[in-house]
Structure 1
Amino acid sequence: MMTGSGGKTMGGPPGGWQGWLNTGLLFVVLEVAVLSIERARWITPRPSLTLALVLSMLAAWFLARSKLPAVAAHATALVIGIMVVVCQAAVLLSGFQPLFLALRAWWLGTGTAIPGGETISFAIFLSLVTWAIGHTGTWFLLRRRNAWVGVSSGAVIILANLSNLPERYYFFFGGYFLAAMLLVALNRLARGNAAGRGAGYPLRGLLYFGASLAVLAVFAFSISWATPEVRVPRLQTAVATRILWKQDIEDSPVNLFAAVPAKQPLSTSSTRRELHFGKDWHQGEQINYIVSSPRPSYWRVHVYDDYTPDGWANGPTDRYTLAEETAWAGALTPAGHETITYEVETNMKTDVLLTAGSFVAADTPTLVQAGAGDIMAVTTPRVLHPDERYRVTSAVTAATPEDLAGAGESYPPEIMAAYLRLPPDFPESVRRLSRSLAGGAPTPYDKVTAIDNYLSRIPYSHEIQAPPPGTDGVAYFLFTQKSGFCLYYASAMAVMLRAVDVPARLAVGYLPGEAGEEEGQYILRDKHYHAWPQAYFPGYGWVDLEATPSTGDSEVAIETPWVGGQITGGDWQEWQDWYRWQVLAEAGLSGGSAAAGANENRTPGNPVWPFADELGRALLITIGGIILITLAASPLLARRSAFYHWLWDFTREDAAAMIYNRLCRLGAMAGLGPRAEQTPLEYAAELSATFPRQARSLDTIARTYADSQFGRRVAVGLFEEAELLKSRCDVFGNLLPRLKWFKKLFFRLKLSD
């Protein structure tokens, strides 16, 4: 325990209004961070983090004021925190038994049928973190008078949260920065006061604090929109390439964040492990990428080689790290290929590298996921943010239909083993249909054409039902649903080609997109996300095919099963013309721009504790209002404090002169000031007529001043000093009630004072 001048202790919990004010400010700081998480509504149902924060700070307050050792206090807080968190989790799942079953399923990596069970581990994590920052922040503030622990932990929480949210949430950071700055500044003044530097907040400190607060407030809100997205790409890439084990954490069944949905456009390798048949497909208008390329292409994101009745997956794969501008050793160079280099600008968070044809190299470090004799996907070691750019070099085929028709059937053994594989329970009806359509075709290319002609007669539609559980998706599409979107067409062509001994697989990515404002620029929107089959042709490698018809609501605009080289010629002009017509048609129907971004679809859900969910907002508004009123009144309080500081302050060397001069100033402010020709004794006699009970005190002040100024004695003795101070209290105490309040606030000091 340190002791400063005046015997004031530096340790221990602060008392009085300063302690309450700083604790209230700490709550505001942490509540802004917690409220940003609650308002994001990451999961449903969700615990009340505000309630956890309030309880943790109350527990820390009582423990900090107790005489328990630090270790015992922290252990007690931990036990209380676990009890609170467990109770919150049990309320979310309507009982302790469902909670136990859900946690057991999460730990074992198995699924759970309990509503909310898949996100309960994340809910517990949020509650524990909230309890931890509330307890540690309050403890250090009260026991050590250290506000930085709470401010720093809150900053980590709010920046981590906002970095995964859209920009409309960034105002939370401005409020957090302002509240944190206010807390640190006032806590610093309180520490100075506790060290014996004066009673209350000093005038100079308050003035400096007010000026700094005004400047930093503007600065805080100026950077609040940018700070959550501040990044250093080269440093992030360098770090990411050295911690590739984070991919294993993402794949772990105990990953706390696996079931938490993204709050902004996000496309990462962890979201593309499997592709299931469903009833929905991408139809949004938001821009995901902008590509600048010397030629259009189908922009590939991922390739699937393993077909299952309910969708697609990948067999065993290996991951390789490539440095920037390093060529992939296994790159295929198809006959008559063309090498192109294109630039991609991201408009969402993603680790995807869009590839066209056969990937060669990129200007950024990459992770190559290879399996079944070829590349399945190319990603970056870290998640790229919007507006980042990268360049990719690829080899694309320039083969003609005649070239492919003469390619033959000399497939490599590894290609046949991986890409002719069908499930053991593959429907015989699909196999018979495939053979009846293409079994007698003379070449693989003719088989592609025959199957495409059949699929083109199936109506395209987004209004479909997902295949029932246990039903083969392609069989359901061909014989029951008899309509669908690109995933169903592409899957049908791929498996039907396999059924007639043509190696095929499924690719997902983007259509060439719509023309941008600049030449060679292609805008890829969410609605351009597409699935298409690829077939292997000896000598030319994997060739993109288009199985989806260009009718109805389809974004496809070419009438051919072959994509590989055809969109570089005349068909690309047809594609451009089609998009121009489409944009004009949409603009005419909507009366506005056809490029309007899609709004985020979000179902808020109902909180488990409606009152507790709104508790944070009510407390924040109340405490915020009190703080605003205090800040508005602080200049007046500072002036009032300065007046009394001036009035009662003195130094022993010139005590008599200071007290008499202040008497004259007070008298002048009350309309009883001395005249120029009056001596000190005459002025005291005149005041005695107004204050007869203070006549002796007035005479003491005047005589002591006259003796010190005009007599032989300059210094005042101890006895005389005591009488002088007693007289000052008597006289000033009766003069002050005659002053108007505004004269106390707007008095002016003179150099002589």
Structure 2
Amino acid sequence: MNRTVQRWWDWPASLLLLIAFWIASLRLDITDWTDGLSRVITITLIGVLFGFLLGQCRFSGRFVFIYSLILSIILIPWQLGLTLNDKIPWLERLSSLGGRLWITLDQFTHGVPVEDSVLFLTAMLFVFWLASLTASYHLVRNGRPWFGLALIGISVLIIEFYDPPRAVHGLYSSLFAILVVLLVSRLYFLNLRRRWESSGIPMDAETSFDWMRAALISGVILVFLAWNIPSWIRALSPNTPERREFVQSWLVVREKLSNVVAPLSGTAPTEGEYYQNDLIMGTTFTPSDEVVFTVTSSEPRPAGSRYYWRARAYDRYQNGEWFSTYSDREEVTPVDEVLPIPDWKERFDSTFAITLQTPIIRNLFTPGLPLSVSRPAQALGNLIAPTFLDTSTLLAVPPLRAGEIYRVKSSISLPIKNDIETSQGDYPEAIQRVYLQLPSNFPEDIRNLAEEITAGLDTPFDKTEAITNYLRQNITYKPAIQAAPYYLDPIEFMLFTTKEGFCFYYASAEILMLRSIGIPARLAVGFAEGEMNDRRNSFTVRRKDAHAWPEVYFNDFGWVEFEPTVIQSALVRRELSTGPNASGGVNSGPLQSIDEGKERSSTGITPEDFLQDQASPQTNLPANRSIIIWLALLLLLFPIGLGLLLWLRLRSGKPTIPPLAVVVEANLIRYGFSAPGWIHERARLAHLTPLEQAFNAVPKALRLLGKPANPSLTPAEQVSRLVETLPKGQIPALTLLEELHRGMYSPLPANMELAQKSSRQIMRLARRTWLQKIIRLEKFRGHPSGF
């Protein structure tokens, strides 16, 4: 039997569909609602072209569905990923997009305005991809692109409703409507022509041209009326009940959609920094359980260490306000180091993956000194040396949104107390110039108190520890405090009058006292460590963890954190054993816990070592990055390879790929093996014509019902047996037999759609009867007596 499958390929119709979808995607792009809308144009054109290809091939509908699903899983994330900076690793782009989508979906399902346009962009990519792919596929397969056309038409109407009416924008929608009218008219004409040809009715060669010309004129008139009738109705019938009812119904729908388009209409949070250039300490601190971000480190936190997630450092103090006066800037790319740090002692490196849970921010939270970051950023700081930027903060370019993930590699201080106690106070001039600043009206009482606390102590570390302990023992923590009189410095008022404060006051008091006795210090703000899980490498940071702490500079060690705020646990430094049995070990958390026994040199990290360590841009990926990369490549190459194979077979005149069962059976026979029965049966069915495959439902149903038919029986005898066994299947069985006879023994073609429908009805009835039989059998077994 001839197995050729007829297609509805028509160049004018295909071109009309392609242009119509292109115009619709352009209509969305010119709204400028959000960045990345041009990606919708790309994915629409790809969808139309793939739909034409899949429609023209002879693959089954099930195969096309699976293939299209794989394409969707790859192409939509690919287009979304292209909206992010091209220097961000692809794995991080995908994970960030997934996090953003998860948060926006949660906001949408809870009925709150969405704060990120990624949900809208994803929805548009999916809608236009689905509409273009299905419309072009069904146009070629059966001349029925109605689902895709309807979906894209509704989208254009919604866009027209939300986008402010402008003449140029309206032209796009008008042109789309005219193209749709032409396409529908063309398809109707093709359907009529097929009927005329099958009935032997001759057709004039000019008929097609006349038909399209009439459709064009009609389309222009209809579009003109459609675009102007609403304004006429509003002008002639204001405040009619029908109009008010329609408007009220639409407002309900619009309110539902407004949550999704909130970031497009200006209601979303604006870009900003978590901490600005100036910081007023204020008189209240309001805690909250809202999660700001979560952190996963590449290895467990070393014993004796603590993480502080710094957002910004401040260097200048004046009358209860801190200022960040860092003027040096450096552009940071994801594959380069932020800057090499000096050869400071007793530090360790670790990589952190930080997932944001808060709206748009610019500050990148980093522990210690950042070495590399996976996002384009701008480093602000003080250029201490030609190769060392003393970083105050990292600002993401562009800002990050809730759900995004970035990775940062940092060098974190973990000094041994015995060593840092030997550090002396001969500080570099650049450090003294910036970090010993005091206001011109600095209260001498604060300097006197600092000298009193540190009397008899020789080293900067001992003096810093003494001031830290004094604040922890003598200042009471309160989240709301009394404001200082206008003539008193707030720190002076806290130290000598109220003796109450929260973290900003504790840290500021320590910094001012240290500076007054010649020890460089600066204010760091961000978040405390947060809630740590049992594995010591994952943390949840909430708004209540917002914190300020002093960072003190030590020669040979760099910046070291201290904790004067009493509600935070005290920092306990590691010490070397000094007793008679000491062997030089660390008695409060060995460095071996950093990386399973691999101890770092106490001389620190040289800039050369750091640059070598950063030579590969993949250092920020997880340990199993090679597996992930290979899986991603396979997922990307599979549909491309399949599409190439399809194209090659189409060119060679073999538009089908042999079924798997046929390939397996052929290879087994080639190598001298016998194919199992079930593989042979699958291969036999694959060689049948579509009509014979539909009729195969009859013997299959008989086997299911326990009445298998002998292969020697004719189709009519098999149908007769099925009707005896399954009386309800008489009509579809006889219909299927009639179509089989028509297709095999008459010049008329069989109605494949009717045959397949009858085949499905037979199998549905057979399964239902088989299930009822099983249920009755179980009931009988449960009641042997019959009752």
TM-score, with structure 1 as normaliser: 0.42
